[in-house]
Amino acid sequence: MNAGLIGVGKFVPPHILTNEDLEKRMDTSDEWIRTMTGIEQRHIADDDTDTSHMAYQAAAKAIEDAGIQAEEIDLILVATVTPDRPFPSVATMLQEQLGAKHAAAMDISAACAGFMYGIVTAKQFIETNTYKNILVVGVEKLSKITDWEDRNTAVLFGDGAGAVVVGEVSEGRGILSFELGADGSGGKHLYQDEKLIMNGREVFKFAVRQMGESAVNVIEKAGLTKEDVDYLIPHQANIRIMEASRERLELPIEKMSKTIHNYGNTSAASIPISLVDDLADGKIKDDDVLVFVGFGGGLTWGAVCMRW
């Protein structure tokens, strides 16, 4: 039995904050942000738009796209570092809002790699025939933990949600291989102490190395080679980090997802948001070999190779 993604959905809040808007608030420039990160704008949730609200919007679309009813969901996994509150979890709030009355529910805390942890966890339950439909959501309201006085971090992040339904797919398709990892000794480089604190250079060095390595590892584990890869969706943290992983796979530029200019770094939401946009733009076709790779605070990382 193979686990794959059978439905997708996303939500971003309507309010857009551009680099020019940030120029008015702090000592930065559109040119610096574009060149150093690739970001042009980000979506920011208003005070009334909680993480659970964004998660619900994305999840409802993914369920509809999968052609199932909320009652058919067996498990809800929500990857987030910005839950509405420490508990109850966003996943349980979502369970109620969706009317997914047969679903177990929990949040996953693995920062920007959280969505990878989520779909890999879902895969285990599907492939052991334990559950049939699992909702995995990556969602963040990073604006509420952003230090708007700190230009080193304030320009980087955005809010949004991406969701998938993981279920059974036909032989040879779906998630072919995965890698998850963690290095707690790097936790000091990226953490929340009321607001988000980051040693950008250290995170950058780690990300460039790990994204490339993990992407290569999952391709090998799937019994494939770099030439077999049709499309790469890296966590949208910084265009220079993304480019490093693309170069490691020797892929042409059009074979890498790039949505960071529109959304900034939406942490756990970035890969599923990109997936939704890339599908809508016709960049992913049936039977394509895809690689997803992410990293985040913890430090954590995760990658998946799948046949669409």
Smallest separation, CB 228 to ligand ACO (Å):
28
Q: For residues 29 and 124, which CB has a smaller minimum distance to ligand ACO in the complex?
A: 29
DSSP class of 74: -
Smallest separation, CB 267 to ligand ACO (Å):
5
Q: What angle do CA 36, 40, 41 make, to 5 degrees?
A: 130
CB 118 within 8 A of CB 163: no
Q: Residue 21's closest CA among 43, 45, 38, 36?
A: 43
> Choosing from 2, 235, 238, 305, which is the catalytic residue?
235
Whole-number Å distance between alpha carbons of 42 and 143 = 10
Smallest separation, CB 255 to ligand ACO (Å):
22
Q: What does the binding site for ligand ACO look like in residue numbers (CB under 6 A)? A: 28, 32, 36-37, 111-112, 151-152, 155, 190, 198, 200-201, 203-204, 207, 237-238, 241, 265, 267, 296-297
Q: For residues 134 and 190, which CB has a smaller minimum distance to ligand ACO in the complex?
A: 190
Residue 238 among the catalytic residues: no
3-state secondary structure of 223: coil
Q: For residues 145 and 279, which CB has a smaller minimum distance to ligand ACO in the complex?
A: 145
Contacts of 92 (CB under 8 A, 6+ apart): 76, 105, 106
H/E stretch holding 193 reads strand 190-193
Q: Cα 280 to chain center, whole Å?
A: 17
Q: Residue 249's closest CA among 283, 218, 274, 212?
A: 212
CB 168 within 8 A of CB 192: no
Q: For residues 110 and 120, which CB has a smaller minimum distance to ligand ACO in the complex?
A: 110
> Choosing from 19, 133, 262, 265, which is the catalytic residue?
265
> Choosing from 19, 43, 53, 112, which is the catalytic residue?
112
Whole-number Å distance between alpha carbons of 68 and 64 = 6
Token duo for residue 144: 């509420």
Smallest separation, CB 251 to ligand ACO (Å):
20
State the CB neighbour count (10 A cutoff) for residue 81: 25
State the CB neighbour count (10 A cutoff) for residue 255: 16
Residue nearest ligand ACO, CB atom distance: 200
Q: For residues 136 and 190, which CB has a smaller minimum distance to ligand ACO in the complex?
A: 190
Q: For residues 74 and 107, which CB has a smaller minimum distance to ligand ACO in the complex?
A: 107
Residue 305 among the catalytic residues: no
Smallest separation, CB 113 to ligand ACO (Å):
8
Token duo for residue 168: 């059974």
Smallest separation, CB 63 to ligand ACO (Å):
27
Residue 235 among the catalytic residues: yes
Which residues are identified as catalytic?
Answer: 112, 235, 265
